[in-house]
Structure 1
Amino acid sequence: MLSDRERSQFSLIEQSLLAADPLFVSRCSALGRRLRRGVPVRRSARSMHAAGAIPTVLLAGGLVLLVVGGAAAAVPIVVTGILMAMAALGLALTTPQRTRPDTA
């Protein structure tokens, strides 16, 4: 339970958020209503696996380089890992999604 002071601070935060960004507040309220009613929330079907093997391997390689570069304190390796991971995510976003046989 919140104390009276905490409730008043929470109320002030709510009021300032409503004044600053009413669209955000309305979207959050709608989402809360849907969740309380038990209506499933639509989620994006995009995933690294659905993008194919190349983005998945690129992402895995980039993450390995990040860990190895961080452990070795080698900045060029870390930067290469970051660039590989960014390229993998960009490629996954731009390639058409394949449907998996078990979901089609």
Structure 2
Amino acid sequence: MKLDTNKPNFTESFTVVLEESGYTVTDIARLCGVSRTAINAYKTGAKPRKDMLDRLNEIFSGDVDEQELALQHPAEHITLKDATIDEMVEELKRRGVNRVNLLF
């Protein structure tokens, strides 16, 4: 089932697809690069932006590779500690992050 935010039953559809996928909310959050709170919000009425909807449909359709699936496990997360600013920006974009606040 492809998720569509234009349909009135998005919340119900999202919940069903999530349960049928075998993924946990934590898995989906990690694969999307967002918090569990963001994913849980879709189960209670919030609707994702188009880029997030596309990512969710990609994940639920099985179009994720083994490398991305490895990100489900915290021990295998990529560390940005020693990365350059450019490498950090590219990694954050890859993870779907659209905005970052930097505090010094």
Q: TM-score, normalised by structure 1?
A: 0.23
Higher relative contact order (CA 8 A, sep 6+): 2
Q: In proportion to residue count, which structure has more helix?
A: 1
Q: Could you state the TM-score of these two structures normalised by the residue count of structure 2?
A: 0.23
